[in-house]
Amino acid sequence: MKLIIPPVAVLAVALISLVPSARAEVSPFRVRVEQANKNETAKLAKTQKRSLKIFVSNASKESAELRAKYVFFGRDAKGNDIVKIEEGEKPVSVKGLSTEMVESAVATSTFEEAHSANASKGKAGPKVEASGTKMLGYGVQILQGEQVVAESYDPPSMKEQWSKAMPATKPPPVKK
């Protein structure tokens, strides 16, 4: 029995053999993030405070000088845009085969629900629109030089917001 191989198959095999095999480097660094939350609720306003404990593990035998960059994301009440509430960077020295922890700054956001202003004699007053920013999530990147060697996002969709989100505008203080 004679085997007939179509010319397209021969061409495909030839092209595949010319492509160098691409291998992703496996990083010896891992990141684990714990979030601390505190919420305060006033009459119509909610203040959220978040901080992160960033644990960086080094699986290699060599010590490493790294940087932990973090961003807290929120959703703006007016435009419904995703914004950066707080961002920062901390140096991390991790010895070989060990784990180090750094803490982020505390991010604070305040959000006031839409409501009607008080009016006299039981009548509803003018409508007051929602204002401020609601806390949405965070992103953490561990860098060695300029290369990202580990990262964590909560929720995972925040990864694409890292470079897109603009800083949040600070709202005026909430009257209590």
Q: pLDDT by residue (tens digit) across 40-71?
A: 888 778 999 999 999 999 999 999 999 999 99
Mean of pLDDT values over 136-149: 96
Q: Which two tokens stand for residue 151?
A: 């990262």
pLDDT of residue 127: 82
pLDDT of residue 176: 46
pLDDT of residue 61: 95
Every domain of the chain and the residues it spans: 25-166
Mean of pLDDT values over 109-135: 77
pLDDT of residue 120: 56
Whether the per-residue pLDDT at 75 is higher than 80: the answer is yes
pLDDT of residue 126: 80
Whether the per-residue pLDDT at 24 is higher than 70: the answer is no
CB atoms within 10 A of CB 48: 22
Half-sphere exposure of 58 (CA within 13 A, CB side): 19
In single-letter form, the type of residue at position 92 comes to V
b/e sequence 75-109, b meaning 16+ C-beta within 10 Å = bbbeeeebbbbbbeeeebebeeeeebebebeebbb
Mean of pLDDT values over 18-38: 79
The C-alpha atoms of residue 88 and residue 68 are separated, in whole angstroms, by: 8
Choices 1.10.600.10, 3.40.50.300, 1.10.1060.10, 2.60.40.10: CATH for 25-166: 2.60.40.10
Whether the per-residue pLDDT at 172 is higher than 60: the answer is no
The C-alpha atoms of residue 140 and residue 50 are separated, in whole angstroms, by: 14
Helix (H) or strand (E) holding 144: strand 131-144
pLDDT of residue 79: 78
